[in-house]
Structure formats: structure tokens, C-alpha cells
Chain A
Amino acid sequence: MASTDPDGRSALARVIEIADHDDVYEFMFDQGITDGLPVSPPTRDRVDRMLAAAPSDFQHPQQVIASLPPNLAPLTVEKAAINAVMAGAKPEYFPAILAAVEAAAGGQFPLHGSIATTAGLAPMMLVNGPERERIGMNWGLNALGQGNRANSTLGRALRLMLRNVGGAVPGEIEQAIQGGGHKWTLSYAEDEDYSPWEPYHVEHGYERADSVVSLIPITGGPRVCIDQTSRTARALTGSIAMAFQQVLKPRGQVTPTMFVVSPEHADVYRADGWSKANIREAIMEFTALPLRERLASPTLGGGINEYAPEKYGLSEAQLDMPLSKVADPSFIQISVAGSHAGKWTSIYQGIFGDGDPTQQQPSTFVPPSARIRT
């Protein structure tokens, strides 16, 4: 591990010598610093190369970037670089990894809650802008699956930092009930050129030339809506909405959720001239149920607390009030990725969003994000 950075400035990580007869990969498992898969040994040279790729405002190895939960431990540039190496990242990914840390720990993302909750919440990471091409990310075939090094290691680097610096160790402070693949890594890029809409980061106020990491807190996915036959935007959205209605529990509501639309589903929206606002409006319409049908049911299971009518003094008219799957249209987040050989939309859901049904005060969801500086 590094003891100085390339310019000779102080780096504090201890150098650990591994005996020739020891297996370095097994040694790291023994130290409890992996995510269950082998990690790349953070040698002095590798960490130095990672540090050299840090943007100009993160040049000092001991600069604290963030306080990482659950132990609220300081994450320095050096510690970030070590974990990025361990994740298997190339140095050119480091600016995007640091941006992901900023987005996760900047106060907008529920980072501490995502670790402390039993719900297995974790950041889904979307990269937009020129940087996604520079570092060779995948927004096409299998973009949300395995195979691409940048897609695979961006999320993993953040996860390793949370474990090795923040102390988020499953079975200790981290208590996810079942977890999921998204707890290892879930990073992808958007197909900005094929999307019928402006790029995701532009929608959220950035310039097209900016490179941005955006995070959505999800409990899992994909719930895949495979509709190969709908040829109108309205029919297709009906299909997607019915799939969405089932997430977590059909009668309950959910927090912000990412809909990853494949290029062939995007074609349907392009052909009918639908905006993202049109899709949001239709999903709100198609998933709307009278409040009484979102209450927990003796035969259909969980929903809004069955005590709500009494607790909140709900009138018959209020019980007929329509409630959609989400409290606000902005909770429906939309991006485009995937191959051109299938009419697919993948839903990555948030966490249960049932609250006081008379006090739905939906705030507009703005995804936590940070600009990538190189």
C-alpha cells in the first residue's frame, strides 16, 4: 500500500509485506476487507497511479472527501484510491468514483439510512456525459449486467469504501434482510444518442457537456416488463404501470424508482411523440387506486396501515381519493439503456413509501448527483 503519493506527499497507509509463500488474495480475505469476491491487491504502484488520476481539487492524499457511515469515519483521497484499486478500477475511473462518493455522501442521498435499514437499500449509479465514453462504459447490450469493467467497478469501489472505511459489514452493523446483486455494484451509462429525450443529467439541470454521476436509492430490481407487442405509447405505459404496481407490495406505495427503458421501447415513445412527463402522467393514472384499496386488506395483504382511517379520521370521501403507486410524478425516474433486440423496460424500485394518506406532501425528487472533474 502507498506510503507517499507520486509527488512525495504523505500517504499514511501502512505497507504490508506478504510473504512469498502466502497467497495475497487469501491474505486479503483473511483481513475481512473483501465483499466476498477476490479484490485486486492495492500495491504501492497501483495506488500511486490511482492517486495520480485524481482531479485537481483532490490532489492531497490525506484530504478528507467524506464522512462514511455507519461509523462516520473519514474517507481520505488515499483511502478512496486504495479501495478503488481493490475494486478492480482503472485509474481513469477514479474521477467518476470520487464523484459517486460526493453524490452518495453529500447529504442528499440517504447513505446512513441505506446501510442501517434492513431493507437492503443501495445506490443505483447512472453516468452521463462524455466521461462515460472516455472510460469505456456500457450503455448497450447487458449494460446493467456483468462484463464491462467500468460498469462493474464503479459501484463496487463505493461499496468497498463503505465496508472498509465506513464499517458497513453485513452481519455486524449492516443488517440487510436478503440483499441482492445491487449491494455489490449497480452502475451503468445512458444511451444518450438513441434516447428520444434529453440526457438524464440535462433533465436535471446540467449541461450536455458535463459528465455526471446520479444516484437512485433502490431496494432491488430489475422487475422486467417485457412487452414486445404494444405499438402505442399508451398501451406500453399501461403494461409498465401494471408491472410497477406489483413492486414491494401491490397495495402499497413506493419511493423514487428508476425505469430503464430499452431502445425498442424508446422507439414506441418516439413514434407517438411522448415526453417523460407524458409517461409519468400515465403511470400516475394507471396505478391510481381509491385510498381504501391501498389500505391493508385481510385477503389481499399489506398496504397503508389499516388503522389509518381511524387514526387520521378519514371520511368516506377521503377513502375514495385516488392514490397512485408513488406520491409524486417526479418519483418516476426514466433513463435509456440496453440493446436493440428486445422491447424491455426494467424497474428498479425504491423503498416502501406509505405514510399518512391525508398528508401526502410530496416533495419533488431530485436525484443526488455530482459532476465528474478530470
Chain B
Amino acid sequence: MHDTVFFELQGKPSVFVATSEFIKAASHQAERLGLEEVRRVFIPHPMQDRTNAEMHEHAERFIDEILDTLMAPVD
């Protein structure tokens, strides 16, 4: 989240990606860094034990949402 906010403050659109277990933590960190509206996409948890094939499947499934979120105006 620090990195995402850093890039946003440089005027570079950015998007934060994490698993769904970190929705609340991301909200708290974005709020504390003063950029509550930072773009974000959450993918299903868990990720740690996924195989390479499963991770590629995840990437395929979410890449459009990640790019769409990145391109969309911040609320």
C-alpha cells in the first residue's frame, strides 16, 4: 500500500493487489496514509500454497479487472 500511495503521489496511476484476507488491513493503511480512495483489487485467498498453474490461472482471471481498475478514474 505504501508503494501504491507513493506512485499516486507522483502522479502515476497505480493499483494495489492483495488477497481477500487483507481487505481490512488495506483500508486501514490507505486511510492512515491519507489516500482512502487508492485503487485496489483483491484476489481469492489463499495464495501461498497455489501451484504455478493455479497462479497463472489467477493471473488470467484477474488481469482484466486489474487493468480496468488501473485505467478507471479514482472515486
Chain A interface residues (CB < 8 Å from chain B): 70-72, 167, 169, 171-173, 175, 307
The reply to whether the CB of B25 lies closer than 8 angstroms to some CB of chain A is yes
**A175–B22 CA distance with the chains assembled, in angstroms:** 8
**CB-contact partner of B32 in A173, A175, A307, under 8 A:** A173
Residue of B with least CB distance to A302:
B49
**CB-contact partner of B28 in A72, A173, A307, under 8 A:** A173
Chain B interface residues (CB < 8 Å from chain A): 2, 21-22, 24-25, 28-29, 32-33, 52
Min C-beta distance of A307 to chain B, whole Å: 6
Are B25 and A173 in contact, CB atoms less than 8 angstroms apart? Answer: yes
Are A70 and B32 in contact, CB atoms less than 8 angstroms apart? Answer: yes
**A171–B29 CA distance with the chains assembled, in angstroms:** 12
Are A71 and B22 in contact, CB atoms less than 8 angstroms apart? Answer: no
**A72–B6 CA distance with the chains assembled, in angstroms:** 13
Residues of A within 8 A of B29 (CB): 70-71, 173
Residue of B with least CB distance to A310:
B52
Chain A at the B interface: SS class: loop
- Beyond contacts A71-B29, A173-B29: 20 other A-B pairs, Cβ-Cβ < 8 A, are A70-B2, A70-B29, A70-B32, A71-B32, A71-B33, A72-B2, A167-B28, A167-B32, A169-B28, A171-B24, A172-B24, A172-B25, A172-B28, A173-B25, A173-B28, A173-B32, A175-B21, A175-B22, A175-B25, A307-B52
> Can you identify 15 A-B contacts, CB atoms within 8 angstroms?
A70-B29, A70-B32, A71-B29, A71-B32, A71-B33, A72-B2, A167-B28, A167-B32, A172-B24, A172-B25, A172-B28, A173-B25, A173-B29, A175-B22, A307-B52
Name the residue in A71, A167, A169, A173 with the highest tally of chain B Cβ atoms < 10 Å from its Cβ. Answer: A173
Min C-beta distance of A123 to chain B, whole Å: 21
Min C-beta distance of B66 to chain A, whole Å: 21
Residues of B within 8 A of A173 (CB): 25, 28-29, 32
Name the residue in A70, A72, A169 with the highest tally of chain B Cβ atoms < 10 Å from its Cβ. Answer: A70
Residues of A within 8 A of B25 (CB): 172-173, 175
**A369–B24 CA distance with the chains assembled, in angstroms:** 34
Residues of B within 8 A of A70 (CB): 2, 29, 32
Min C-beta distance of B47 to chain A, whole Å: 12
Min C-beta distance of A351 to chain B, whole Å: 14
**A173–B23 CA distance with the chains assembled, in angstroms:** 10
Min C-beta distance of B46 to chain A, whole Å: 11
Which 9 residue pairs across A and B have the least CB separation, nearest first? A172-B28, A71-B32, A173-B28, A173-B29, A175-B25, A173-B25, A167-B32, A307-B52, A70-B29
Min C-beta distance of A116 to chain B, whole Å: 9
**A222–B33 CA distance with the chains assembled, in angstroms:** 36
Residues of A within 8 A of B2 (CB): 70, 72
Residue of B with least CB distance to A175:
B25
**A72–B34 CA distance with the chains assembled, in angstroms:** 12
Residue of A with least CB distance to B32:
A71
Residues of B within 8 A of A72 (CB): 2
Residue of A with least CB distance to B21:
A175
**A54–B54 CA distance with the chains assembled, in angstroms:** 55
Min C-beta distance of B58 to chain A, whole Å: 16
Residues of A within 8 A of B21 (CB): 175
Residues of A within 8 A of B33 (CB): 71
**A233–B3 CA distance with the chains assembled, in angstroms:** 49
**A175–B29 CA distance with the chains assembled, in angstroms:** 12
**A307–B24 CA distance with the chains assembled, in angstroms:** 32
Min C-beta distance of A268 to chain B, whole Å: 40
**A71–B29 CA distance with the chains assembled, in angstroms:** 7
Residues of A within 8 A of B32 (CB): 70-71, 167, 173
**A172–B21 CA distance with the chains assembled, in angstroms:** 12
Min C-beta distance of A166 to chain B, whole Å: 10
Residue of A with least CB distance to B33:
A71
Residues of B within 8 A of A167 (CB): 28, 32
Residue of B with least CB distance to A311:
B52
